[in-house]
Amino acid sequence: DTGVSQDPRHKITKRGQNVTFRCDPISEHNRLYWYRQTLGQGPEFLTYFQNEAQLEKSRLLSDRFSAERPKGSFSTLEIQRTEQGDSAMYLCASSLVLAGNTGELFFGEGSRLTVL
């Protein structure tokens, strides 16, 4: 297993364009999380899935953001009509949550978005 993988690693786009990021979690993990991180700050929670169900969304996730995990495996995060303020590192994490365990999160290396 190669861990959590994210694609693309870097994306440069012009303001107003749409972008999509993909996350492939560790194969048996049932939880998948998206975070956003700007320079000098800790990661900020965006949303998470239990299998294919989206269980929680942060108020940071405006209507321009949408996330899916259609088959309970990989996930996509789409940002429509990008703004310069969307420039950040987008981190994906997965975990295996079972009764009695605490489900540590395994993070990918992130997808860095630059909006010009």
Partner 1 sequence: DAKTTQPNSMESNEEEPVHLPCNHSTISGTDYIHWYRQLPSQGPEYVIHGLTSNVNNRMASLAIAEDRKSSTLILHRATLRDAAVYYCILRDGGTSGSRLTFGEGTQLTVNP
- Token pair 């953001």: residue: 65
- Phi/psi at 84 (5° precision): -60, -30
If one asks whether residue 41 binds partner 1 (CB under 8 A), the answer comes out as yes
If one asks whether residue 74 binds partner 1 (CB under 8 A), the answer comes out as no
How many residues belong to the chain? Answer: 116
Q: Which is nearer to partner 1, 74 or 106 (CB)?
A: 106
- Token pair 């012009």: residue: 14
**Cβ–Cβ contacts within 10 Å for residue 109, how many?**
13
If one asks whether residue 25 binds partner 1 (CB under 8 A), the answer comes out as no
Q: What is the closest distance, in whole angstroms, from the C-beta atom of residue 106 to partner 1 in the complex?
A: 7
Note the residues at the interface with partner 1 (CB under 8 A).
4, 31, 33, 35, 40-45, 48, 50, 56, 91, 93, 95, 97-99, 101-110
